[in-house]
Copies of this chain bind each other. A is one copy, B any other.
Amino acid sequence: MIIQKTENSRISTFDPNNFSFGGTFIDHMIICEYEDGKWGDVKLVPYGPIPFTPAMMGVNYGQACFEGMKAYKDKDGQVFLFRPEKNFERINKSAKRLAMPEVTEEMFLDGLKALVDIDREWIPQGEGMSLYIRPLIFATEEALKARVSNKYMFAIVATPAKSYYSEPVSVKISDHYSRAANGGVGSAKAAGNYAASFYPTQLAIEEGYEQIIWTDDATHEYFEESGTMNVFVRINDTIYTPPTSEKILDGVTRDSFIQLAKKRGIEVKVEPIPVKTVIEALKSGSLKEVWGVGTAVVTTQFQALGYQGEKLALPRLSDDESYAALLKKDLVDLQNNLSEDPFGWRVVVDHVLETV
Protein backbone atom coordinates (compact mmCIF):
# COMPACT_ATOMS: atom_id res chain seq x y z
CA MET A 1 0.00 0.00 0.00
CA ILE A 2 1.26 3.44 -0.94
CA ILE A 3 0.63 5.95 1.81
CA GLN A 4 0.57 9.65 1.21
CA LYS A 5 -0.46 11.48 4.36
CA THR A 6 -2.15 14.83 4.03
CA GLU A 7 -0.14 17.92 4.90
CA ASN A 8 -3.32 19.85 5.50
CA SER A 9 -5.37 17.92 8.00
CA ARG A 10 -8.84 19.36 8.48
CA ILE A 11 -9.37 17.61 11.82
CA SER A 12 -9.06 20.88 13.78
CA THR A 13 -12.12 22.18 11.91
CA PHE A 14 -14.18 19.12 12.82
CA ASP A 15 -16.62 19.57 15.68
CA PRO A 16 -17.95 16.14 16.69
CA ASN A 17 -20.95 17.85 18.26
CA ASN A 18 -21.87 19.81 15.18
CA PHE A 19 -21.31 18.41 11.71
CA SER A 20 -23.36 17.37 8.73
CA PHE A 21 -23.62 13.63 8.17
CA GLY A 22 -22.70 12.61 4.66
CA GLY A 23 -21.13 15.91 3.64
CA THR A 24 -18.13 16.02 6.00
CA PHE A 25 -15.24 13.93 4.74
CA ILE A 26 -12.31 12.59 6.71
CA ASP A 27 -8.77 13.59 5.75
CA HIS A 28 -7.95 10.60 3.58
CA MET A 29 -9.38 8.14 1.12
CA ILE A 30 -8.30 4.87 -0.45
CA ILE A 31 -8.04 4.65 -4.21
CA CYS A 32 -6.94 1.88 -6.53
CA GLU A 33 -7.15 1.88 -10.32
CA TYR A 34 -7.90 -1.00 -12.68
CA GLU A 35 -6.42 -1.02 -16.16
CA ASP A 36 -5.10 -3.59 -18.65
CA GLY A 37 -6.97 -6.35 -16.83
CA LYS A 38 -5.52 -5.80 -13.37
CA TRP A 39 -5.69 -3.64 -10.27
CA GLY A 40 -2.76 -1.33 -9.57
CA ASP A 41 -1.34 -0.23 -6.23
CA VAL A 42 -3.65 0.49 -3.33
CA LYS A 43 -3.10 4.10 -2.34
CA LEU A 44 -4.05 5.93 0.81
CA VAL A 45 -4.14 9.59 -0.22
CA PRO A 46 -5.64 12.90 0.93
CA TYR A 47 -9.40 13.05 0.25
CA GLY A 48 -9.96 15.19 -2.78
CA PRO A 49 -10.93 15.54 -6.40
CA ILE A 50 -9.79 13.36 -9.26
CA PRO A 51 -10.17 14.55 -12.85
CA PHE A 52 -12.90 12.83 -14.91
CA THR A 53 -14.59 14.00 -18.09
CA PRO A 54 -18.35 13.73 -18.65
CA ALA A 55 -17.56 10.80 -20.97
CA MET A 56 -16.65 8.70 -17.91
CA MET A 57 -18.48 5.42 -18.30
CA GLY A 58 -19.52 5.26 -14.65
CA VAL A 59 -21.96 8.13 -15.08
CA ASN A 60 -22.96 7.20 -18.64
CA TYR A 61 -23.72 3.50 -18.16
CA GLY A 62 -24.06 3.17 -14.41
CA GLN A 63 -21.37 0.55 -13.92
CA ALA A 64 -20.95 1.35 -10.25
CA CYS A 65 -21.68 -0.38 -6.98
CA PHE A 66 -20.98 0.41 -3.36
CA GLU A 67 -21.03 -0.71 0.24
CA GLY A 68 -22.17 1.04 3.40
CA MET A 69 -20.51 0.15 6.70
CA LYS A 70 -19.42 1.74 9.94
CA ALA A 71 -16.52 1.99 12.37
CA TYR A 72 -17.23 2.52 16.07
CA LYS A 73 -15.10 3.95 18.88
CA ASP A 74 -15.65 2.61 22.39
CA LYS A 75 -15.26 4.55 25.65
CA ASP A 76 -11.56 3.67 25.80
CA GLY A 77 -10.95 4.94 22.31
CA GLN A 78 -10.57 1.50 20.79
CA VAL A 79 -11.91 1.35 17.23
CA PHE A 80 -13.92 -1.49 15.69
CA LEU A 81 -15.29 -2.45 12.31
CA PHE A 82 -18.47 -4.52 12.20
CA ARG A 83 -18.50 -7.71 10.12
CA PRO A 84 -16.39 -6.15 7.33
CA GLU A 85 -15.97 -9.52 5.62
CA LYS A 86 -19.71 -9.47 4.82
CA ASN A 87 -19.32 -6.20 2.94
CA PHE A 88 -16.24 -7.54 1.18
CA GLU A 89 -18.19 -10.56 -0.04
CA ARG A 90 -21.14 -8.47 -1.09
CA ILE A 91 -19.25 -5.81 -3.05
CA ASN A 92 -17.79 -8.63 -5.12
CA LYS A 93 -21.24 -10.13 -5.69
CA SER A 94 -22.43 -6.71 -6.83
CA ALA A 95 -19.36 -6.28 -9.03
CA LYS A 96 -19.93 -9.65 -10.67
CA ARG A 97 -23.57 -8.86 -11.48
CA LEU A 98 -22.49 -5.58 -13.05
CA ALA A 99 -19.68 -7.22 -15.04
CA MET A 100 -17.02 -5.33 -13.07
CA PRO A 101 -13.73 -6.73 -11.75
CA GLU A 102 -13.83 -8.07 -8.21
CA VAL A 103 -11.64 -6.44 -5.58
CA THR A 104 -9.07 -8.24 -3.45
CA GLU A 105 -9.03 -8.67 0.29
CA GLU A 106 -5.93 -6.47 0.41
CA MET A 107 -7.73 -3.65 -1.37
CA PHE A 108 -10.92 -3.92 0.62
CA LEU A 109 -10.10 -5.09 4.14
CA ASP A 110 -6.56 -3.78 4.44
CA GLY A 111 -7.58 -0.53 2.74
CA LEU A 112 -10.46 -0.17 5.15
CA LYS A 113 -8.32 -0.78 8.21
CA ALA A 114 -5.58 1.59 7.05
CA LEU A 115 -8.07 4.36 6.33
CA VAL A 116 -9.88 3.98 9.65
CA ASP A 117 -6.56 3.71 11.47
CA ILE A 118 -5.00 6.85 10.01
CA ASP A 119 -8.19 8.90 10.47
CA ARG A 120 -9.30 7.42 13.78
CA GLU A 121 -9.43 10.91 15.28
CA TRP A 122 -12.39 11.61 12.99
CA ILE A 123 -14.54 8.94 14.61
CA PRO A 124 -16.94 10.60 17.02
CA GLN A 125 -17.36 8.89 20.38
CA GLY A 126 -20.58 8.25 22.24
CA GLU A 127 -23.92 6.55 21.91
CA GLY A 128 -24.88 5.97 18.31
CA MET A 129 -21.88 7.87 16.95
CA SER A 130 -19.74 6.25 14.28
CA LEU A 131 -17.80 6.69 11.09
CA TYR A 132 -19.86 5.84 8.02
CA ILE A 133 -17.62 4.23 5.42
CA ARG A 134 -18.31 4.00 1.71
CA PRO A 135 -16.29 1.58 -0.41
CA LEU A 136 -17.25 1.77 -4.07
CA ILE A 137 -16.20 0.61 -7.51
CA PHE A 138 -17.02 2.59 -10.62
CA ALA A 139 -16.13 2.57 -14.31
CA THR A 140 -13.67 5.32 -15.25
CA GLU A 141 -12.90 4.72 -18.91
CA GLU A 142 -13.84 7.61 -21.16
CA ALA A 143 -15.84 6.09 -23.99
CA LEU A 144 -19.23 6.61 -25.58
CA LYS A 145 -20.06 2.99 -26.23
CA ALA A 146 -22.56 1.00 -24.19
CA ARG A 147 -20.21 -1.82 -23.26
CA VAL A 148 -18.22 -3.06 -20.29
CA SER A 149 -15.55 -0.54 -19.24
CA ASN A 150 -11.85 -1.38 -19.38
CA LYS A 151 -10.93 0.96 -16.53
CA TYR A 152 -12.27 1.19 -13.00
CA MET A 153 -11.58 2.88 -9.72
CA PHE A 154 -12.03 1.28 -6.33
CA ALA A 155 -12.28 3.90 -3.61
CA ILE A 156 -13.11 4.15 0.07
CA VAL A 157 -14.36 7.45 1.42
CA ALA A 158 -15.88 8.13 4.82
CA THR A 159 -17.94 10.62 6.78
CA PRO A 160 -18.53 10.93 10.52
CA ALA A 161 -22.05 9.80 11.47
CA LYS A 162 -24.28 11.09 14.22
CA SER A 163 -26.38 9.36 16.73
CA TYR A 164 -29.32 8.68 14.52
CA TYR A 165 -32.61 8.53 16.31
CA SER A 166 -35.29 8.11 13.74
CA GLU A 167 -38.91 8.94 14.54
CA PRO A 168 -41.39 6.26 13.50
CA VAL A 169 -42.40 6.83 9.88
CA SER A 170 -45.38 6.12 7.68
CA VAL A 171 -44.71 3.87 4.72
CA LYS A 172 -46.70 3.31 1.56
CA ILE A 173 -47.03 -0.25 0.30
CA SER A 174 -46.20 0.14 -3.37
CA ASP A 175 -48.98 -0.72 -5.79
CA HIS A 176 -47.32 0.56 -8.96
CA TYR A 177 -43.64 1.38 -8.72
CA SER A 178 -41.00 -1.24 -7.96
CA ARG A 179 -37.27 -1.34 -7.32
CA ALA A 180 -36.27 -4.69 -8.82
CA ALA A 181 -37.09 -6.93 -11.75
CA ASN A 182 -36.94 -10.70 -11.80
CA GLY A 183 -33.58 -11.38 -13.40
CA GLY A 184 -32.51 -7.82 -12.59
CA VAL A 185 -29.99 -6.25 -10.20
CA GLY A 186 -32.09 -5.85 -7.03
CA SER A 187 -29.77 -7.97 -4.91
CA ALA A 188 -26.71 -5.92 -5.93
CA LYS A 189 -25.87 -2.61 -4.32
CA ALA A 190 -25.95 -1.19 -7.85
CA ALA A 191 -25.84 2.60 -8.08
CA GLY A 192 -28.81 2.66 -10.45
CA ASN A 193 -31.14 0.97 -7.96
CA TYR A 194 -31.02 4.05 -5.75
CA ALA A 195 -31.72 6.64 -8.47
CA ALA A 196 -34.68 4.52 -9.60
CA SER A 197 -36.27 4.75 -6.15
CA PHE A 198 -36.14 8.54 -5.74
CA TYR A 199 -39.10 9.59 -7.88
CA PRO A 200 -41.56 7.00 -6.49
CA THR A 201 -40.44 8.04 -3.01
CA GLN A 202 -41.10 11.70 -3.83
CA LEU A 203 -44.62 10.76 -4.94
CA ALA A 204 -45.17 8.80 -1.70
CA ILE A 205 -43.97 11.83 0.29
CA GLU A 206 -46.53 14.00 -1.54
CA GLU A 207 -49.19 11.51 -0.39
CA GLY A 208 -48.09 11.91 3.24
CA TYR A 209 -45.63 9.02 3.63
CA GLU A 210 -41.91 8.99 4.33
CA GLN A 211 -40.92 5.77 2.59
CA ILE A 212 -42.12 3.02 0.31
CA ILE A 213 -42.45 -0.67 1.09
CA TRP A 214 -41.40 -2.17 -2.22
CA THR A 215 -43.44 -5.09 -3.45
CA ASP A 216 -42.86 -7.55 -6.29
CA ASP A 217 -43.21 -5.80 -9.63
CA ALA A 218 -45.53 -8.34 -11.24
CA THR A 219 -48.33 -8.55 -8.65
CA HIS A 220 -47.45 -6.17 -5.77
CA GLU A 221 -48.65 -8.95 -3.48
CA TYR A 222 -45.40 -9.57 -1.57
CA PHE A 223 -43.13 -7.38 0.54
CA GLU A 224 -39.58 -6.98 -0.75
CA GLU A 225 -37.73 -4.09 0.93
CA SER A 226 -38.59 -0.79 2.55
CA GLY A 227 -36.89 2.37 1.31
CA THR A 228 -33.23 1.37 1.20
CA MET A 229 -33.69 -1.12 4.05
CA ASN A 230 -34.66 -4.73 4.59
CA VAL A 231 -38.06 -5.14 6.16
CA PHE A 232 -39.26 -7.06 9.22
CA VAL A 233 -42.83 -7.82 10.29
CA ARG A 234 -43.88 -9.07 13.72
CA ILE A 235 -47.15 -10.98 14.01
CA ASN A 236 -47.90 -11.95 17.61
CA ASP A 237 -44.42 -12.90 18.84
CA THR A 238 -42.99 -14.22 15.58
CA ILE A 239 -40.73 -12.14 13.34
CA TYR A 240 -40.97 -12.49 9.57
CA THR A 241 -38.59 -11.22 6.90
CA PRO A 242 -38.52 -12.11 3.19
CA PRO A 243 -35.77 -14.47 2.04
CA THR A 244 -32.93 -12.87 0.13
CA SER A 245 -33.16 -13.39 -3.62
CA GLU A 246 -32.00 -11.80 -6.82
CA LYS A 247 -34.47 -9.02 -5.98
CA ILE A 248 -33.71 -8.54 -2.29
CA LEU A 249 -30.44 -7.31 -0.81
CA ASP A 250 -28.60 -9.58 1.59
CA GLY A 251 -28.35 -6.93 4.29
CA VAL A 252 -25.73 -7.21 7.04
CA THR A 253 -28.08 -5.59 9.56
CA ARG A 254 -30.85 -7.95 8.41
CA ASP A 255 -28.66 -10.97 9.05
CA SER A 256 -27.50 -9.58 12.40
CA PHE A 257 -31.10 -8.98 13.50
CA ILE A 258 -32.04 -12.55 12.59
CA GLN A 259 -29.14 -13.95 14.62
CA LEU A 260 -29.73 -11.66 17.57
CA ALA A 261 -33.43 -12.54 17.62
CA LYS A 262 -32.66 -16.27 17.57
CA LYS A 263 -30.16 -15.79 20.38
CA ARG A 264 -32.95 -14.24 22.43
CA GLY A 265 -35.21 -17.19 21.63
CA ILE A 266 -37.52 -15.12 19.44
CA GLU A 267 -39.03 -17.14 16.62
CA VAL A 268 -37.84 -15.89 13.22
CA LYS A 269 -39.41 -17.03 9.96
CA VAL A 270 -37.57 -16.20 6.77
CA GLU A 271 -40.33 -16.56 4.21
CA PRO A 272 -42.28 -14.53 1.65
CA ILE A 273 -44.58 -11.99 3.33
CA PRO A 274 -47.89 -11.51 1.51
CA VAL A 275 -49.26 -7.98 1.77
CA LYS A 276 -52.69 -9.48 2.48
CA THR A 277 -51.38 -11.40 5.49
CA VAL A 278 -49.97 -8.21 6.99
CA ILE A 279 -53.16 -6.23 6.40
CA GLU A 280 -55.32 -9.02 7.82
CA ALA A 281 -53.05 -9.29 10.86
CA LEU A 282 -53.29 -5.53 11.32
CA LYS A 283 -57.08 -5.66 11.20
CA SER A 284 -57.28 -8.64 13.55
CA GLY A 285 -54.87 -7.10 16.04
CA SER A 286 -52.13 -9.71 15.71
CA LEU A 287 -49.76 -7.39 13.85
CA LYS A 288 -47.48 -5.92 16.49
CA GLU A 289 -44.82 -4.05 14.54
CA VAL A 290 -43.20 -3.49 11.15
CA TRP A 291 -39.74 -1.98 10.74
CA GLY A 292 -36.84 -1.54 8.40
CA VAL A 293 -33.17 -2.23 9.08
CA GLY A 294 -30.00 -0.97 7.46
CA THR A 295 -26.49 0.19 8.25
CA ALA A 296 -27.16 3.93 8.25
CA VAL A 297 -30.07 4.12 10.71
CA VAL A 298 -29.93 0.58 12.15
CA THR A 299 -33.75 0.55 12.56
CA THR A 300 -36.66 2.67 11.49
CA GLN A 301 -39.96 1.75 13.09
CA PHE A 302 -43.17 2.24 11.15
CA GLN A 303 -46.25 3.93 12.57
CA ALA A 304 -48.61 3.50 9.63
CA LEU A 305 -48.96 1.51 6.43
CA GLY A 306 -50.47 3.00 3.28
CA TYR A 307 -52.57 0.40 1.48
CA GLN A 308 -55.18 0.87 -1.25
CA GLY A 309 -55.53 4.57 -0.50
CA GLU A 310 -55.89 4.13 3.26
CA LYS A 311 -53.38 5.03 5.95
CA LEU A 312 -53.60 2.24 8.51
CA ALA A 313 -52.13 3.01 11.94
CA LEU A 314 -49.84 0.43 13.53
CA PRO A 315 -49.82 -0.26 17.28
CA ARG A 316 -47.53 1.99 19.32
CA LEU A 317 -45.26 -0.20 21.42
CA SER A 318 -43.03 0.99 24.22
CA ASP A 319 -39.30 0.25 23.91
CA ASP A 320 -39.81 -2.56 26.40
CA GLU A 321 -42.49 -4.17 24.25
CA SER A 322 -40.85 -3.62 20.86
CA TYR A 323 -38.66 -6.29 19.32
CA ALA A 324 -37.34 -3.66 16.90
CA ALA A 325 -36.12 -1.51 19.82
CA LEU A 326 -34.81 -4.53 21.74
CA LEU A 327 -32.81 -5.92 18.82
CA LYS A 328 -31.54 -2.48 17.88
CA LYS A 329 -30.15 -2.07 21.39
CA ASP A 330 -28.59 -5.54 21.25
CA LEU A 331 -26.91 -4.68 17.98
CA VAL A 332 -25.74 -1.17 18.88
CA ASP A 333 -24.35 -2.38 22.22
CA LEU A 334 -22.42 -5.10 20.46
CA GLN A 335 -21.12 -2.70 17.81
CA ASN A 336 -19.97 -0.23 20.47
CA ASN A 337 -18.26 -2.82 22.66
CA LEU A 338 -20.82 -2.38 25.42
CA SER A 339 -21.67 -6.07 25.41
CA GLU A 340 -20.10 -9.46 24.77
CA ASP A 341 -19.58 -10.50 21.15
CA PRO A 342 -20.39 -14.22 21.02
CA PHE A 343 -20.57 -14.05 17.21
CA GLY A 344 -17.08 -12.62 16.62
CA TRP A 345 -18.56 -9.70 14.69
CA ARG A 346 -16.30 -6.94 16.04
CA VAL A 347 -12.96 -6.45 14.31
CA VAL A 348 -10.44 -4.27 16.15
CA VAL A 349 -8.61 -1.70 14.06
CA ASP A 350 -5.02 -1.79 15.25
CA HIS A 351 -2.75 1.21 15.60
CA VAL A 352 -0.30 0.77 12.73
CA LEU A 353 -0.01 3.95 10.75
CA GLU A 354 0.93 6.39 13.49
CA THR A 355 4.59 5.67 12.90
CA VAL A 356 4.34 6.46 9.20
A55 touches B (CB below 8 Å)? yes
Q: Report yes or no: A198 in contact with B60, Cβ–Cβ below 8 A.
A: no
A165 touches B (CB below 8 Å)? no
Which residues of A from 128 to 173 have beta carbons under 8 Å from B?
Answer: 132, 134, 136, 138-139, 142-148, 153, 155, 157-159
Residue in chain B with minimal CB distance to A66: B60
Of the four ranges (under 10, 10 to 19, 20 to 34, 35 or more), the interface on chain A belongs to 35 or more
CB distance from A21 to the nearest CB of B (A): 7
CB distance from A308 to the nearest CB of B (A): 16
Residue in chain B with minimal CB distance to A153: B54
With contacts A190-B192, A200-B183 taken as known, whether A59 is within 8 angstroms of B54 at the C-beta atoms is no
A127 touches B (CB below 8 Å)? no
With contacts A58-B59, A66-B60, A98-B195 taken as known, whether A184 is within 8 angstroms of B190 at the C-beta atoms is no
Q: Report yes or no: B184 in contact with A98, Cβ–Cβ below 8 A.
A: no
Q: What copy number does this chain have within its complex?
A: 2
Q: Report yes or no: B194 in contact with A183, Cβ–Cβ below 8 A.
A: no
Instruction: Chain B residues near A351: list those with CB within 8 A.
Output: none
Instruction: Chain B residues near A313: list those with CB within 8 A.
Output: none
Q: Report yes or no: B62 in contact with A62, Cβ–Cβ below 8 A.
A: yes
Give the CA-CA distance A271 to B106 in the complex, in Å.
53
Residue in chain B with minimal CB distance to A23: B143
Stretch at the interface among A45-53, A78-86, A114-122: A45-53
User: Most chain-B Cβ atoms within 10 A of its Cβ — which of A22, A55, A96, A136?
Assistant: A55
Give the CA-CA distance A45 to B194 in the complex, in Å.
31
Chain A to chain B contacts (Cβ below 8 Å), 11 pairs: A23-B144, A50-B54, A53-B157, A59-B138, A62-B191, A132-B144, A148-B198, A177-B184, A178-B183, A179-B184, A192-B196
Residues of A within 8 A of B (CB): 21-23, 25, 29, 31, 47-55, 58-64, 66, 68, 96-99, 132, 134, 136, 138-139, 142-148, 153, 155, 157-159, 174, 176-185, 190-196, 198-200, 202, 217-218, 228, 296
